Each structure stands twice: as C-alpha cells, then as structure tokens.
Amino acid sequence: MKKILFIILFFLIWFNISYWYENQGFLNYKEENWIVNFQCEKQCFIFIWSKENNNILYIKWNIIWNWVVWYWFLNWQQIIPGEFSNIKNNISLENKFFFNKLQYYNQLPNEIITILIIDWNLKSDNFSFILDKSNFIDNLKLNFDNFIKIETLTPYSINLRYWIMIWWISIVKIWYIIFILIWIFFLLNKKYKKFNNFLLLGLTIFLFIWFRNLYTYYDITKTWLKSYTFESIDNKTFFDLWDYITFTDKVRKTLYLDDKNNKKDCRIFIDSFQDWPFKAHWQSVYLKPCQIVDDISKAEYLMYYKENIPNEIKWEKLIDFNNSYLYILTK
C-alpha cells in the first residue's frame, strides 16, 4: 500500500519539478524564510528535490507534542530508507542527520529526492530544515561516532546486544580473544607459576568493568528520579510513556477509583492517539474497577489521551491536562 502511495506521490512530484521542494498531507502549511509552520494529521511528507553534494539534513524544531521524523531517498526505481528519530515533547532541539552514516550513501546518485516524513497528529512552531554540506567538526564527530559506539541502556533493557562496539567489532569479542590467548599461554607454559599475578590482573579488569556498570545504573536512576519521582505532579514524565502515568493517576483520583470502601462501578470509553501500550494498559489494569466500553452511547465517562475530540461531544469536562481530557455525561 505504501509503495503504491509513493508511486503516486512520485508522479505528483514529477509534474512539479520546478519547485525546490513539495509537501503532501499537511492540513496547514506556511513557509517563510526557510521557517515552516504546519499542522499535520497522521503522516506528512516534504520532498526535497536534490541532494547534490549535500550530505547533512539539518532540522530545527519547536513543537507542541511528541512526534517522529525520518527521511527516505527516492530514486527512479525505489524508496531507500534513511534514519529515524523519535522526538520528545515540549523540547526545542536541533538535529543533524548525517547521510554519510548510511553504508549505501556513496552508491546513491547525486540527483535524488530526499523525503522528510513527519508522523502523528501535531502542530509545529518555527520548524526549519536545510540540506547542507558537512564541515570539518561534523566530519570529526561522525568519524568518532563510527569508531566507538556504546549501546544505549534504558531502565527497561531486558536484553543487551554488544555493549561497546569499536568499528564493527564488539569489545566483548576482543577480550574474548585476548583472554583465550592468555589461557592457552598459561596452559602451555607449565613452568610459569606466578598465577596470582594473573588472577590480580583479571580481578582489576573486572573491577574496572564493575565501576563502569555502576556508573551506568547511577546515571539511569538519576535521570529518571529527576524526571519522574522528584518532578512536580504536572510535569512528571516517564520515558516513552510520557505523561501517561500522571494523567492516569489524575483520572483515578478524580473518579475515586482507589477508594476501596467506596467501590465505583463505572463505564468508560477511551481513545488514544496510539493504542499500544496506553489503551492496552487501561483496558486490562489501570482503570480498574471501571469497565471499558467500546461504544460511546454506553459510557458514563469519556477519556481522550492526546487525541482530537469529536466535535459532536458536548459533555462536561472533568480533566484537561496536556491535550488529554476526561468528560462526564451530563444529565
């Protein structure tokens, strides 16, 4: 389906090649001096005509809600995926996409369309994008990033892959080889008795790794205590659950759901900009003991999380929090 869409879009561009760039899918789109204000619903595209010798896509944004941005290249035959960036809410940021990071970059023709894709329902405030050439510092940074790559750990990391990568080799593999060589050396050289020194060396390296891990855990815990535990109620955010927990807590308190002596039997309709994990959580656990209903007509309460409210709804508003709402049926 997406391929068909892109073929259609490609031909749309084909007839508009006189423009430097073209956009699709926006509700509103105003551009002035390379600064764009737009409103996007679901998925929007900006077609940047030629990459020529430029190798950086430089974007600046100041947006109201979290969103996803990525880019693709479009040549005459196919769509070539580029990088992906998940952008958090209410933060003004600048970001550089280095095309050189892509292994196939050098194989791309100069005359190729770059497509900037913006996902989800959002409004921009002074968004700008520029295709540019990398300078010396950019190249240095890029090469260093390519040389050493550290795996991102999150509080909910349940599996790890490589930890630290030097070029394309995991540091684990390097140590693996070194220690097997040392082991073979010791096994072959039976006369060498100073084993305690070897043990000491091993323990020291182990201690160093220990310290490195300790720092990682401290860092994760610190970040999250700051943004979640010790943050004021209205500003609490929990990683990619954002303010979902705060909003849910507000709903529970408003409806007295934790008051066990005064058990509430309520029916609630929920809608969210994204089903997983929010709707799944509410449905199975976090709006208990309320019942979740699929039909608005059967509901006593309506809940919208980062979702546009249908115009016909004229219910009484109980909560209005960061584009999330709770309504009650008025009698």
Binding site for another protein (CB under 8 A): 153, 155-163, 170-173, 175-176, 179-180, 182-183, 186, 195, 198-200, 202-203, 206-207, 209-211, 213-214, 216-218, 220-221, 224-225, 228-229, 238, 241, 245, 248-249, 252, 257-258, 260, 276-277, 280-281, 284-286, 288-289
Residues 13-52 as b/e (b if ≥16 CB within 10 A, e otherwise) read beeeeeeebbbbbbeebeeeeeebebebeeebbbbbbbbe
Helix (H) or strand (E) holding 73: strand 67-74
Q: Which residue has the tokens 């994008």?
A: 129
CB of 198 to another protein, least distance (A): 7
Name the DSSP letter for residue 270. E
In this structure, the number of other CB atoms found within 10 A of the CB of residue 113 comes to 22
Closer Cβ to another protein, 72 or 286, answer by number: 286
CB of 192 to another protein, least distance (A): 10
Closer Cβ to another protein, 2 or 260, answer by number: 260
Closer Cβ to another protein, 136 or 195, answer by number: 195
CA–CA distance, 179 with 173 (Å, rounded to integer)? 10
The answer to whether 36 and 63 have CB atoms below 8 angstroms apart is: no
Closer Cβ to another protein, 134 or 248, answer by number: 248
CB of 298 to another protein, least distance (A): 20
CB of 187 to another protein, least distance (A): 8
Closer Cβ to another protein, 23 or 170, answer by number: 170
CB of 325 to another protein, least distance (A): 20
Residue 191 burial (C-beta neighbours within 10 Å; 0-12, 13-18, 19+): exposed
